[in-house]
Amino acid sequence: MKLFQRLKAAVTASPGSNDPAPHPPAVTGPPPPMAAPVPPAPADSPPAGSCGRKKRLLFVEGDAVASRDLSRLLEPLRDQWDMVFTANPAEALAALEREPFDAVVAALGLTGMTGVGFLNDAVKHRPQTLRFIRCTPQERKDLKGFVGTAPQHFSTELDAEGAQLVIKRAFLVDDWFTHEAIKTLLAKLHKMPTLPTLYTQILNELQSPDVAIDAVARLIAKDPVMTAKMLQLVNSAYFALPREVTDPVEAVMFLGAERTRSLILLAKVFSQFDKHQCEGFHLEELWRHSLAVGSYAHLICQTERKDTRLADQAFTAGLLHDIGKLLLAGNLPEPYGRVLDQAQRRKLPPVTVEAEVFGATHAELGACLLGTWGLPLGILEAIAWHHRPTLSEDKEFSLLTAVHASNAIDHEKRAEAADILVSRMDPAYIQRLDLGGRRNRWRELCESPTKAVDEVSEKN
């Protein structure tokens, strides 16, 4: 199987990326009709996957009561999706054969067949439709026998918000993988980094009910390169500790679980590409920039939201935001070297030339890779759109805001004299969030010179 096919297949096999929320009580309301056939799409509906319409989702449950309860649970999402609920697998398959749906969610136990069997039949009718199996996390671990790639997990423990994140994430990653320019670019990549074994081991350790932080540190200590990178980060100027930390246990305790996992991901990806030579690409500078953006994003997010968990996710997104550059430099050293040379000669940001030459950028490419590793939706959006935040639906401060601002600030700090007064934050995006007055405050947090142009634009 080609690398692109393996990578895309990994998306559906990825672990769930959202913590399950408590199942809320069912709301009152009339149950959906169970006996009637699944309603067809409106006659004027554009084909599946096109813009300008709601996504169509088909939910197949084991009985009428479960179908009614799920319909009530997801009622708040009807303004976003066209949702059809049924407890009749035969009718659901007939509907799939008759018309397109963007996604189908099947319960594990159905009338007259299993959810696995139903989804195997569904893929024959609509191979492009996203498939989800609705069951508990433990049940998902034991499932086998799927035709083609395994469906994604739709946990029975999700509330409406969790369900929205799971499905929105799946649609977003699928859109990236089916974008022609990204497909073409991915087909040229012959080496993709694998999810580090150490990352998986630490993830399993942290999920243990009797987790001990020193056990995590001992796992890391077995990898000298990883230990060195972690100590390098803890002792860097971004943390400004009063003394040097030399003990991995102390380093893990200081960084915390989320930042430790993020560092492992980045360090392992760097190690898989450290022997590749690309003219104009400097691995150590990318490492420095990644640490800076991660640290700034954590600081800005903590200041704005006072939420340690969200700030840790901001660190992850900032640390990994340029991972796509490694993929380009490691797989396409000559073409990417020419992109970097052209950007320097034309005095353009490399991302602009990437888009001209490849039709896609390192940002979307990195989000594709991390999408296969199961990272949460907010982190993927921050990575994919850190150069073009207006593509997002943000209406308030988010992980994307933190990463976009942090990336801009680090580039401003190293700008040439002629560009020293230029603000690199997207004004339309920042003003849309009504955060124009915060830009110079963020710069002060990151010990960067303020920009008078932002003060003027805020007054106007």
DSSP string, 291-313: HHHHHHHHHHHHHHH--HHHHHH
Residues 293 and 401 in one domain: yes
Residues 153 and 291 in one domain: no
Inside any domain, residue 181: no
For the chain, residues with pLDDT lower than 70 are 1-52, 206-211, 275, 417-421, 455-460
Q: Which of 120, 139, 173 is the last residue of a domain?
A: 173
What dihedral do alpha carbons 256, 258, 261, 265 form, nearest 10°?
Answer: -130
Q: Name residue 107's beta-bridge partners.
A: 134
Question: Residue-wise over 324-363: b if at least 16 C-beta within 10 A, else e?
Answer: bbbbbbbbbbeebbbbbebbeeeeeebbebbbebbebbbb
Inside any domain, residue 265: no
pLDDT of residue 216: 81
Q: Which of 140, 173, 206 is the last residue of a domain?
A: 173
Distance CA 160, CA 24 (A): 9
Q: pLDDT tens-digit profile of 102-130?
A: 999 999 999 999 999 999 999 998 999 99
CB 109 within 8 A of CB 62: yes
Phi, psi of 324 (to 5 degrees): -65, -30
Distance CA 93, CA 122 (A): 6
pLDDT of residue 49: 39
At 419 the three-state DSSP class reads helix
Total of domains in the chain: 2
pLDDT of residue 5: 52
Residues 169 and 317 in one domain: no
Phi, psi of 439 (to 5 degrees): -60, -50
Inside any domain, residue 386: yes
Inside any domain, residue 101: yes
Inside any domain, residue 178: no
3-state helix, strand, coil in the chain (%, to 5): 60, 5, 35
pLDDT of residue 24: 32
Inside any domain, residue 96: yes
* Domain at 108, CATH number: 3.40.50.2300
pTM of the model: 0.81
pLDDT of residue 223: 80
Q: Which of 148, 173, 198 is the last residue of a domain?
A: 173
Distance CA 270, CA 272 (A): 5
pLDDT of residue 459: 52
Inside any domain, residue 431: yes
Distance CA 162, CA 167 (A): 9
Inside any domain, residue 395: yes
pLDDT of residue 437: 92
CB 192 within 8 A of CB 262: no
Distance CA 190, CA 179 (A): 19
Domain enclosing residue 404, as ranges? 271-459
pLDDT of residue 419: 66
* Domain at 339, CATH number: 1.10.3210.10
CB 321 within 8 A of CB 293: yes
pLDDT of residue 228: 84
Residues 15 and 152 in one domain: yes
Instruction: Provide the CA 21 distance to its chain's centre, in angstroms.
Output: 19
- β pairing state of 130-135 and 55-60: unpaired
Structure tokens at 126: 């609509």
